[in-house]
Chain A
Amino acid sequence: MKLSAPPLPKFLRPSPPRPGTGNGGNGANAGNGAGGNGGIATKPKPKDQAVEGAASVVGWLDERSGVSPFLRGFLYRKTPKGTNWFYTLGSATMFAFLSQAVTGVFLAMYYEPDTATRAYSSAAHISNDVFLGEFVRGMHKWGATVMIILIFLHMGRTFFFGAYKYPRELNWVIGVVLVVLTLVMGLTGYLLPFDQRSFWATVVAVNLNSSGPVIGPYLADFLRAGSEFGPTTITRFYALHMLLVPGLIAALIGAHLYLVAKLGTTAPPWLKAEKKDLLTEEL
């Protein structure tokens, strides 16, 4: 027996079931304490409410951005048979970069790029005094090495699997630029602790740049901001290290990933195309 709804003000009335939810709707939507519309009012469990809330937030975003077809295509793209752990090296490199970005941002809160005294002492302050400072600085330092190792392993995987060939040459080129930029990060970051080792390593590195004919000396002048290691050298390296190069890397990782999603990944070279099966499937 269906009772008529009590004359409640509009905001107290139970909302009608969502379209497509069928008879399950009356349970979840009868939470207004007024008896509900179905008579068998069960209070929704907190878990159901959480799921419903999250779903509605996601739905709100998706309805306005239309992002889900993109994400479905990006995350559920087809991969060839034989895809193996070597194919995770690119993502691993990217996570190393993200770790560097996050730890770098927090190191920048304490680091002072001042040549005369503050660079070394602020780096020492991070290691010695700041809570978890040694840990975050250590993650940044060792993460840099990890990123270099991973990016070269990724490059080796691409090379030995022949994944640089048509139509993926552009992605290889972008990847090579990313390798160079990662090495630039290593070079510019090495100066920042400003101890004896980083100072002399940077002197040698800048002079290596200078050894290039004709433009080399100008490149060295650009890096040093003058003919000698001067007051703005470290700020210059710092700006390159935390603003310019990371921005370029992030942008190029975006382009790199776009091309990966667009072109798909390659099968390992030891897998032969299964022509027969393909033919029967398509027929």
Chain B
Amino acid sequence: MADPPKFDEKSRYTEGRGIAGAFPGETVTRRRLMEGTAMAVGGIATAAFALPALGFALGPIFEDVSRENWQPVGTEGDFNTQTYIQRVINIAPEIGDPGKTTVYVRKFDQARDDPRNKDQPFVAISTRCAHLGCPVRYIRASQKFVCPCHGGVYDFQGKVAGGPPVRPLDRFYTRVRAGKVEIGDRFSVNSELKRFSPRDPSNHLDGLWQYLYPSRPTT
């Protein structure tokens, strides 16, 4: 006949589990408690420096530090509806020359332009290629924007006419103050020139694709 089990392995008490040196009524051994405490203290100490450091590095992802920035680029009379005039604005003034970028500006044309954007008195096209961000150049003879890097081509409206770009060229908000044309923040457009918050080059904005490239906190 087998003896009844001397120790119950499922007992709440260390004494009941047959652990050497157990105290009556004790549920956790001192060794186990110290192990847990040491682990917890180490974990807290690690988290105390690692989490702030991680947040410090990742912070800029969740922060919009750009302020509304209107830059005058000339008088109304400087621009026409027929062709683009080249202007330079600075989109990151803190860094000097590297923050400068070229903008192609023309007057909004009621006859030719999409009525979606008729609240903008001017059309200011960004030179940032929608493929991978190289600077495009406007070729007046062919009325096309051409990218030197991978052969992206855009038509007069900035819509994709050929090559790898996934959406039209970005634009900037425009306004007129005291006779001066001012260029504001960037916005992106899809192939129907519907406006979106600024997206990075290479981010699609048509059909189901647009949900894979959502708006970000930084823009």
Q: Is B66 part of the contact surface with A, judged by Cβ < 8 Å? A: yes
A225 to B60, CA, bound (A): 5
Q: What separation, in Å, do the CA atoms of A232 and B200 have in the docked complex? A: 18
A15 contacts the other chain (CB 8 A): no
A residues in contact (CB < 8 Å) with B: 115-117, 194, 199-200, 203-204, 206-208, 210-211, 213-214, 216-218, 220-222, 224-232
Residues of A within 8 A of B131 (CB): 207
- CB-nearest residue of chain B to A115: B95
Instruction: Determine if B58 and A222 form an interchain contact, defined as CB atoms under 8 angstroms apart.
Output: yes
- 23 CB contacts below 8 A, A to B, read A115-B95, A115-B96, A200-B149, A204-B134, A204-B149, A206-B133, A207-B131, A207-B132, A210-B201, A211-B200, A211-B202, A213-B212, A214-B213, A217-B200, A217-B214, A221-B60, A222-B60, A224-B60, A225-B60, A228-B66, A228-B92, A230-B99, A231-B92
Are A221 and B61 closer than 8 Å at their CB atoms? Answer: yes
Q: How far is the CA of A232 from the CA of B202 in the complex (A)?
A: 23
Q: Provide the residues of chain A in CB contact with B64, threshold 8 Å.
A: 227
- B200 near A210: Cβ-Cβ < 8 Å: yes
B198 within 8 Å of A by Cβ? yes
A227 contacts B202, C-beta separation under 8 Å? no
Asked if B203 and A210 make an inter-chain contact with CB atoms under 8 angstroms apart, the answer reads yes
Q: How far is the CB of B147 from chain A (nearest CB, A)?
A: 11
Proximity bits, B46-86, A CB within 8 Å = 1, else 0: 00000000000110110111100000000000000000000
Instruction: Give the chain B neighbours of A217 by CB distance below 8 A.
Output: 199-200, 203, 213-214, 216
Q: A199-B98, A200-B134 are in contact. Are A228 and B91 (CB under 8 A)?
A: yes
Interface of B is mostly: loop
B3, CB-defined interface residue at 8 Å = no
Give the CA-CA distance A230 to B98 in the complex, in Å. 9
B191 CB–A CB distance under 8 Å: no
Q: A199-B98, A230-B92 are in contact. Are A214 and B219 (CB under 8 A)?
A: no
* Assembly CA distance A201 to B61 (angstroms): 22
- Asked if B218 is at the interface of the complex by the 8 Å CB criterion, the answer is yes
A208–B95 CB distance below 8 A: no
Q: Are A214 and B60 in contact (CB under 8 A)?
A: no
A216 to chain B, nearest CB (A): 8
From A232, which residue of chain B is reached at the shortest CB distance? Answer: B60
Point out which of B58, B60, B66 has the most chain A C-beta atoms below 10 A from its C-beta: B60
B119 within 8 A of A: no
Bound together, the chains give a CA A227 to CA B218 distance in angstroms of: 6
Q: Give chain A residues whose Cβ lies under 8 Å from the Cβ of B133.
A: 203-204, 206-207
> Is there an interface contact between A207 and B200, defined as CB atoms closer than 8 Å?
yes
Closest residue to B218 on the A side, CB-wise? A227
Point out the residue from A117, A208, A222, A227 that lies within 8 Å of B66, measured CB to CB: A227
- Whole-angstrom CA separation of A231 from B95 in the bound complex: 5
The 7 closest A-B pairs by CB, nearest first: A211-B202, A210-B200, A213-B212, A227-B218, A225-B60, A116-B96, A207-B133
Shortest beta-carbon distance from B167 to chain A in Å: 12
Cα-based distance from A198 to B138 in the complex (angstroms) = 24
Known: A204-B149, A222-B57. 20 other contacts (CB 8 A): A203-B132, A204-B133, A207-B131, A207-B201, A208-B132, A210-B200, A210-B203, A211-B200, A211-B202, A214-B212, A217-B216, A218-B61, A220-B200, A226-B60, A227-B198, A228-B91, A228-B92, A229-B92, A230-B95, A231-B95
